[in-house]
């Protein structure tokens, strides 16, 4: 076999391997996206059930209540399937409602968006999520002015409006959680090299969800 034919054969083999690897990555990401959507569909009704439930429902739940005399940033948390949640996020522009976990790590991010740092009570909440289509995959489309809502487990609904969309490096930890904005949402770019970061400001004071719905 000539050198030219040998090189051509090697290139074909390498090309085939790269195509198969890309297909494998695509299908793996698609499966993770579908599982993330299923997790949201399972967990969101449970979070809402607690918020809207009777006193009996709330007494039976595994809850970490916020205490007014303790750290003012502490939020009420409820345990569901082994993880604690602090409420849910509503993004009408994307047609999404998402439960939000109290703490983050990479395994939890596969299930639902997570609090990265901060609190709605101190106007510095930062929420992280994967770029799954049912999580934060669509926030890169924001241009400003979109409404975002967060409802905590005490039934308080906080209203926000998108004021800035920026891309940060993964190392910009302090800039991500500097506390300049009332609410920040962020996710990885599709290549994973940077972070799409959506900054929001409060557009109204927190109101009781039941009163707001009436």
**Per-residue pLDDT reduced to its tens digit, 90-105:** 999 999 999 999 999 9
Q: In sequence order, what are the residues at sequence separation of 6 or more whose Cβ sits closer than 8 angstroms to the Cβ of residue 188?
A: 130, 131, 194, 195, 196
Q: What is the CATH number of the domain that holds 174?
A: 2.40.260.10
pLDDT at 145: 95
Per-residue pLDDT of 159-169, as tens digits, reads 999 999 999 98
Catalytic residues: 130, 188
- Is residue 9 situated within a structural domain? no
Residue span of the structural domain in which 51 resides: 38-213
- Is residue 123 situated within a structural domain? yes
What are the phi and psi torsion angles at 13 (to 5°)? -65, -45
pLDDT at 49: 92
Overall pTM > 0.85: no
pLDDT at 12: 72
Rounded distance between C-alpha atoms, residue 159 and residue 162, angstroms: 10
> In a 3-state reduction of DSSP, which class is residue 175?
helix
Compute CA distances 122 → 75, 86, 114, 126, 171, whole Å. 10, 14, 17, 11, 24
- Is residue 23 situated within a structural domain? no
Reported confidence tier of residue 214, pLDDT bands at 50, 70, 90: very low
Residue 14 has pLDDT above 50, yes or no: yes
- Is residue 29 situated within a structural domain? no
- Domain count for the chain: 1
Does 99 or 132 have the greater pLDDT score? 99
- Is residue 59 situated within a structural domain? yes
Reported confidence tier of residue 19, pLDDT bands at 50, 70, 90: low
Reported confidence tier of residue 85, pLDDT bands at 50, 70, 90: very high
- Is residue 8 situated within a structural domain? no
Cross-strand bridge partners of residue 195: 168, 188
Report the pLDDT averaged over residues 12-32: 59
Residue 56 has pLDDT above 70, yes or no: no
């Amino acid at each position: 076999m000539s050198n030219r034919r040998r090189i051509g054969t090697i290139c074909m083999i390498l090309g085939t391997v790269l195509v198969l690897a890309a297909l494998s990555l695509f299908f793996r990401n698609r499966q993770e996206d579908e599982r993330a959507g299923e997790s949201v569909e399972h967990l969101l009704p449970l979070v809402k059930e607690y918020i809207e439930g009777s006193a009996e429902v709330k007494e039976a739940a595994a809850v970490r209540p916020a205490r007014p005399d303790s750290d003012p940033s502490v939020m009420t948390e409820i345990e569901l399937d082994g993880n604690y949640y602090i409420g849910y996020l509503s993004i009408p522009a994307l047609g999404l409602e998402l439960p939000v976990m109290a703490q983050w790590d990479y395994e939890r991010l596969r299930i639902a968006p997570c609090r990265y740092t901060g609190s709605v009570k101190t106007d510095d909440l930062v929420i992280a999520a994967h770029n799954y289509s049912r999580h934060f995959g669509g926030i890169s489309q924001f241009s400003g002015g979109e409404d975002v809502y967060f409802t905590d487990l005490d039934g308080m609904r906080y209203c926000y409006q998108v004021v800035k969309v920026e891309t940060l490096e993964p190392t910009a930890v302090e800039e991500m959680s500097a506390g300049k904005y009332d609410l920040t949402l962020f996710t990885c770019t599709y290549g994973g090299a940077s972070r799409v970061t959506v900054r929001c400001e409060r557009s109204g004071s927190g109101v009781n969800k039941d009163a707001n719905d009436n």
